[in-house]
A and B are shown apart, each in its own frame.
Chain A
Amino acid sequence: EDQVTQSPEALRLQEGESSSLNCSYTVSGLRGLFWYRQDPGKGPEFLFTLYSAGEEKEKERLKATLTKKESFLHITAPKPEDSATYLCAVQAGYGGATNKLIFGTGTLLAVQP
């Protein structure tokens, strides 16, 4: 069964304290791994897509990496405005555009000033 597991469930950092979030997955035929940011009461906001092992993407203080079993979201020198829930999702299987995304339960990040 396809599965996505994120850790830790919650993470509290001091401003400027770098860290990483983990997303482990077991799927048949990975088509893409997606990272989203979700603020309270809002829909997820797209951050990155990774397609193959070894791929990396960066955006401001965030960097996403991918291996054959997991993805990391590295946060460098975070600021309070980076506080949010970070969701990982995978698209797996074969076929057309309707392949669904399987989401992890997210990591709730709190960055204290």
Chain B
Amino acid sequence: GAVVSQHPSRVICKSGTSVKIECRSLDFQATTMFWYRQFPKQSLMLMATSNEGSKATYEQGVEKDKFLINHASLTLSTLTVTSAHPEDSSFYICSARVTGGNSPLHFGNGTRLTVT
């Protein structure tokens, strides 16, 4: 149980274009999902908390107009990287919690974004 599916696993796009990444909880409902970014040999950095039916909460330094988050249902959150630049190239990972404030986060398999 507690499977989080993320799609696509890899994407290459040109500078200036937008890319959408999907995150689905397959066997549970998630009112809250989390989006992380990971640079090589670095820790996971929380970008934003996605809340079903309401606006996402962004961490300090994360541009909300650049990283658009939509959480339209209890099983789907999307992250759209708008007007992508090469410096946006990174590994993006979503996660969700089953129930309860202290239950573990379960992660998707990540999306490797390369902006050329």
Contacts and interface: CB of A to CB of B under 8 A. Distances in A.
Contacts of A49: 102-104
Interface string A67-103: 0000000000000000000010101000111111101
B46 A101 contact: yes
Nearest to A49: B104
Given A97-B32, A104-B43, A41 B106 contact: no
Interface residues of B, number: 30
Contact of B101 (A42, A44, A99, A105): A99
Nearest to A104: B43
A43 B36 CA distance: 10
Chain A interface size range: 20 to 34
A51 B109 contact: no
Main secondary structure on B side of the interface with A: strand
B106 A46 contact: yes
A32 interface: yes
A50 to B, nearest CB: 11
A43 B104 contact: no
24 contacts: A32-B102, A34-B105, A41-B110, A43-B93, A43-B95, A44-B107, A45-B107, A46-B105, A46-B106, A49-B102, A51-B102, A87-B43, A87-B44, A96-B101, A97-B100, A98-B32, A98-B49, A99-B101, A100-B34, A100-B46, A103-B43, A103-B45, A105-B41, A105-B43
Interface of B: 4, 6, 31-32, 34, 41-46, 49, 51, 57, 91, 93, 95, 97, 100-110, 112
